[in-house]
Amino acid sequence: MTDRPLLYNAAFGPLNLAAVRNAPCQMSLGERLFLYSLVYAARPAHYCEIGTAQGGSALIAQSALFDVGNHDARMSLIDIAFDLDKPARQMLERRAGFHEGPSTEMLPKVAEAAAIDFLLIDGDHTHDGALRDIEMAADLVVPGAHVLIHDAYNPPIAAAIAEAAANPAWIDVGLVVRHGNDLHDSPLEDGPWKGQRNVWGGMHHLRRR
């Protein structure tokens, strides 16, 4: 991320919005648009994500970096097991580094290699996993970094966000994309969330002080 003003015409296009519509990821249109817009507007120097899966969110972020003319930006993608098809990998590998393994091992390595100023957390969809990733991020991203947490409507993840956001290291921007979905008819069966609707979707935004 840079504080230098954008002084050339990339502020007005062209825009490659095809990835927003077509990228293979389980995000609503609102979530896709927000991710694209924040990457485009913030111009991070090092975009990182936990939970790349098929590469959809990374393709959206890459499109935003390309469209704003941020060709020197770094991308680091972390997943326990990537599920990229050949075209997606070919499109991403021109800019991105692939780091396969648990986030507890990969995120510190990525942060040591280059300061992280934008992080998308969409990996371990359990309370403990989400809490661990957010708490870990507080120690590894740089001041001013944007951190987005996907599936913020899911009760265990929502609880993890609330717990982690109490850390004074964070500015809690809040739930910035209010698009949820109910992919399961049955309620949650375990833990303190037993009986609650198994809702997914939603994007929460934290900012590192």
Give the pLDDT of residue 165: 98
Give the pLDDT of residue 123: 96
Higher pLDDT, 7 or 80: 80
Give the pLDDT of residue 181: 80
Give the pLDDT of residue 7: 59
Burial classification of residue 12, based on how many CB atoms lie within 10 Å of its CB (0-12 exposed, 13-18 middle, 19 or more buried): exposed
C-alpha–C-alpha distance, residues 170 and 135, integer Å:
10
C-alpha–C-alpha distance, residues 44 and 105, integer Å:
23
C-alpha–C-alpha distance, residues 1 and 98, integer Å:
21
pTM of the model: 0.93
Distances (CA, A) of 45 to 2, 53, 54, 141: 7, 22, 23, 12
Q: Is the bond into 14 cis (omega within 30 degrees of 0)?
A: yes
H helices of the chain, where? 18-22, 29-42, 56-67, 86-92, 103-113, 127-140, 155-165
C-alpha–C-alpha distance, residues 102 and 106, integer Å:
6
C-alpha–C-alpha distance, residues 165 and 54, integer Å:
28
Q: Tell me the mean pLDDT in the region 44-56.
A: 96
pLDDT (tens digit, 9 = 90+) per residue, 112-147? 999 999 999 999 999 999 999 999 999 999 999 999
pLDDT (tens digit, 9 = 90+) per residue, 179-191? 888 776 678 888 8
Give the pLDDT of residue 8: 57
> Binning pLDDT at 50, 70 and 90, where does residue 94 land?
confident
Return the CATH number of 27-208, one of 1.10.3720.10, 3.40.50.150, 3.50.90.10, 3.40.1190.20. 3.40.50.150
Give the pLDDT of residue 198: 87
Give the pLDDT of residue 188: 87
pLDDT (tens digit, 9 = 90+) per residue, 143-189? 999 999 999 999 999 999 999 999 999 999 999 999 888 776 678 88
**Structure tokens, 174:** 């809040």
